[in-house]
Structure 1
C-alpha cells in the first residue's frame, strides 16, 4: 500500500468511526424492545468501511466499539459492538477477492443476488455473534425458559439479522453513487 493510499484510508476510517459513534447517540429512529434497542443506520459506517478495505472495516469496527465504551454505554452494547469486527472482516476480505460486486460501472451477472447473499451471510454471522455474547449476560438472571427464548432468539438473533439487512441495504444505496467518486486503489 502506498503512503498516500494509507493516509487516505486512515482519513476515511476516522470519518466513518465518527459517523458510527454519532448515529447511535443521536439518531431519532430507534426501536426499543426491552432489553434490546435497534437504531436505524447504526451499522452503515461499518458496512461502508468494509466496502473500502479489510483494514478500514476492522478499524471502524474497533473504533465504534471504543466509542461505545468511552460513551458509557452498557457492557452488553459494547460487547455486541465488538462482535462487529468478525463480520466486518469476513465481508471485507470477501469483497477484496470480488471487487467487481461493488463496481457499479461494470456489468456483473447476478450481482443483485450475490450482494443479497453476502448481506444475508453477514447478517447471520452478525446475529449469531451477538446472540453468543448475550447468552451469558441474560442466562441465570432468573428468567423463565420462554422469556430467555424470546430475548435471545427473537429479539437478539432475529432482531440483529433484520437490523443488519436493513442497514446493509442502506449502505449499498449510499455506496452506489459515492463509489464512483472514491479514489482508485492505484493511488
Structure 2
C-alpha cells in the first residue's frame, strides 16, 4: 500500500472510530453512580484505535471525552474519560514496539496491565476532584466509591478490550491490520550436498 493511501485509510478509520466514540455515550445502555459510570462498549473504539496507531488512539480518546461531555452526564465522568488518553497512548506505543502482545496469553497479560493503569488514572482524577472540592460525594463514602470505580472500572476495561480485539481479528480477515500480522518465522532450507 502506498504511503498516501495508508495515511488516508488511517485518517478515515480515525474519523469513524471518533464518531463512534462520540456516539456511544449518547445511545448505549449505562449504569451511572456519579462519579462512576459504566457505558456499554465505551472503550472499544479507543482500544481499536490503540491497535491502529498511537495518534489514532489519542484522537479517538479525545473524541470519547467530547462524547461524554455532551452526553449530559456529570462532569466528573468527562474528566475520567479524559484520562483515557494516558492508557491509550502508552498502551498503543507499547503494542507497536512489542507486537507479540497482540496475541494469546500475552495479550491477556497486557489487557490486565492496561486495565490497572486505566483504573488507577480514573480513581486518581476522581480523588483529585473530590479533595479539591470540585466534586462532592452527596452522602456516599469515599471508600465505597473507590471500590465501585476500581473494581467496576477494571472489569469494564478488560471486557471492552476483549471485545475490541475480537472485532479487530474479525476485520483483520478482510482487511489486514499491520499490527496483527504474524511476525515471519525464520526457516532454514537445508540442502544436502553430495
Structure exhibiting the larger radius of gyration computed from Cα positions: 2
Secondary structure at the counterpart of residue 41 of structure 1: coil
In the alignment, which residue of structure 1 is the partner of 2:55?
A: 55
| Alignment partners' CA distance in 2, 1:184 and 1:57 | 15
| Alignment partners' CA distance in 2, 1:7 and 1:62 | 20
What TM-score do you get using the length of structure 2 for normalisation? 0.80
In the alignment, which residue of structure 2 is the partner of 1:105?
A: none
Point out where structure 1 has 5 or more consecutive residues left out of the alignment.
103-110
In the alignment, which residue of structure 2 is the partner of 1:167?
A: 160
2:180 counterpart of 1:179:
no
Greater RCO, 1 or 2 (C-alpha within 8 Å, sep 6+)? 1
Point out where structure 2 has 5 or more consecutive residues left out of the alignment.
179-194
Q: Is the 8 A contact 2:35 2:77 kept in 1?
A: no
Corresponding residue pairs, total = 174
Q: Is the alpha carbon distance of 1:71 and 1:38 closer, same or farther for their aligned partners in structure 2, counting shifts above 3 Å?
A: closer
| Alignment partners' CA distance in 2, 1:5 and 1:162 | 34
1:58 to partner: Cα distance: 1.1
1:100 to partner: Cα distance: 4.2
Stretches (4+) displaced over 6 A: none
1:142 to partner: Cα distance: 6.8
